[in-house]
Structures are given as C-alpha cells and as structure tokens.
Amino acid sequence: MLTRIDHIGIACFDLDKTVEFYRATYGFEVFHSEVNEEQGVREAMLKINETSDGGASYLQLLEPTREDSAVGKWLAKNGEGVHHIAFGTADVDTDAADIRDKGVRVLYEQPRRGSMDSRITFLHPKDCHGVLTELVTSASPGQTEH
C-alpha cells in the first residue's frame, strides 16, 4: 500500500547551484547526498517534513554524471524541471507486482538500490498519464549510509 509522497525528483544541470537556490529561497537544507553510479547521477535529498508513517518527504535534486544516463537524456530533451514523483511503500516488491497486474509497465524486473539505501522501481510514464512514477521502500532505520 502506498503511504506517502516520498519525494519529487527534479533534474538540474548544476546540483550545487540548485541546492543553493532551494536553501536561500525556502530554507531547505541537504539531508543526504550521494553519487549513484548505476543511475549516473549526483543527487541531494532535501527533507521537507516528517510523515505519520515514520518516513519523510523530500525534494530530490538530480544532476547527471554522464550524458547517456536517464536523467542526462531527459535534461537534454526537456531542460530542468520535475523529472518524477515517488510514492513510499512498505513493500516495493508486492506493490510493484500488484500494479503490474493492473496493466502498468514496471521498468525494473527486480527493485534496485536507490537513494539512502532504499529499494526502488519505476512505472512507465505512458501508463501513468505522462508521469514517470517511482515506488520506494526506505531502508530500515540505522541501515542508511550517509
């Protein structure tokens, strides 16, 4: 069962400059940052608030580390802006299977490692009214690497 909006992914050309905009304009600070080599991105997670299920909601700022990454290709075509929305779930495997059974294409056969050691998969935007949608199961407390 989907429990919250986990994050909104925003693609950007310059991560440091974009982080500074969100810090100076809204007061959001970086909660976590990392480079995800598999997905070809450098990212910063800005925590917006805690949620009633023990999770949190974030803005995820994404800068491609290579032009052939999914975010790099998306930026080349669309420019900066909202890239995807992610919903939190206690069980990404079960929810992805349930959604697949409803005719929505799930992009990864098996969930992959995401930000902060989460487990993730994506749903095809053409099956989600044009919105790239991510499902996220957060890492257990104490499991996350900063």
The boundaries of the domain holding residue 19 are 2-137
Locus of tokens 């998306």: 74
pTM: 0.90
Residue 144 lies in a domain: no
Locus of tokens 């989460």: 118
pLDDT, tens digit (0-9, with 9 covering 90-100), for 20-60: 999 999 999 999 999 999 999 999 999 999 877 778 899 99
Average pLDDT over the chain, rounded to an integer:
93
Residue 143 lies in a domain: no
The residue count of the chain comes to 146
Asked if residues 99 and 108 have their Cβ atoms less than 8 Å apart, the reply is no
| CATH at 10 | 3.10.180.10
Residue 107 lies in a domain: yes
Residue 146 lies in a domain: no
Residue 52 lies in a domain: yes
Residue 6 lies in a domain: yes
Across the range 129-141, mean pLDDT stands at 91
Q: Domain tally for the chain? A: 1
pLDDT, tens digit (0-9, with 9 covering 90-100), for 74-115: 999 999 999 999 999 999 999 999 999 999 999 999 999 999
Q: Which are the catalytic amino acids?
A: 7, 43, 60, 84, 134
- Decide if pLDDT at 144 tops 60: no
Which three-class secondary structure string do you get for the chain? CEEEEEEEEEECCCHHHHHHHHHHHHCCCEEEEEEECCCCEEEEEEEEEECCCCCEEEEEEEEECCCCCHHHHHHHHHCCEEEEEEEEECCHHHHHHHHHHCCCCECCCCCEECHHHCEEEEECHHHCCCCCEEEEECCCCCCCCC
Residue 142 lies in a domain: no
